[in-house]
Each structure stands twice: as C-alpha cells, then as structure tokens.
C-alpha cells in the first residue's frame, strides 16, 4: 500500500491491517511527525521507520518523540533498510 500524505496514511491504518510503516518525514497535507503521533495512538504496536533526506540530530529526536521506531537517511541503501525492518520484527519476539 502507498499513501501520498500523512492523512492518507492514517486513513489506511484505520481501514487495513498493517505490519510495518515506512514513512517519509516531509509530506504534503500532514507531515510524518504528525501522522506518526496519531498512528501510534491508534495502533501503538505497528513499527514506524522514518525516512528523510535530512540527517539532523534535532530531527532524529523529534522523530523519536513522535513515536517513530527507527530513522533512516536517504538515499536508502537496501542493506540498511532490510536491517531496520529485521530489527523491528526481532524486537517483537
């Protein structure tokens, strides 16, 4: 599934079973920080991995406070993405 903005992501979570979210920070309508806070309120067990082009320490902290479980910087390397996904699912066991 694919959402074009944070509001669509929230609507998708309300209608569908989702195991993992990979969310961009900068989106139209509603940014990833705002969407993550709402999604974590609705479904706290769904891991959210943020992706962004910005690697600022302050943004990493805001992502964590919003409920994002991991923070990846673009361009995403396949091995790093796979490792982040595996980390989220191994944390459940």
Instruction: Locate 38 and state its tokens.
Output: 């709402």
52 three-state secondary structure: strand
Average pLDDT over residues 35-62: 89
Q: Give me the pLDDT at residue 91, please.
A: 62
Cα 84 to its chain centre, rounded Å, is 11
State whether the Cα torsion 17-3-21-69 is positive or negative. Answer: negative
pTM (two decimals): 0.88
Distance separating alpha carbons of residues 10 and 35, to the nearest angstrom: 7
Distance separating alpha carbons of residues 57 and 50, to the nearest angstrom: 14
């Amino acid at each position: 599934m694919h959402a074009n903005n944070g509001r669509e992501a929230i609507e998708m979570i309300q209608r569908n079973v989702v195991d993992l979210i990979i969310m961009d920070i900068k989106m139209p309508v509603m940014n990833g920080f705002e969407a993550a806070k709402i999604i974590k309120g609705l479904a706290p067990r769904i891991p959210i991995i943020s992706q962004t082009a910005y690697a600022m320490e302050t943004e990493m902290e805001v992502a964590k406070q919003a409920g994002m479980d991991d923070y990846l910087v673009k361009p995403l390397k396949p091995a790093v993405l796979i490792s982040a996904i595996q980390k989220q699912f191994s944390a459940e066991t």
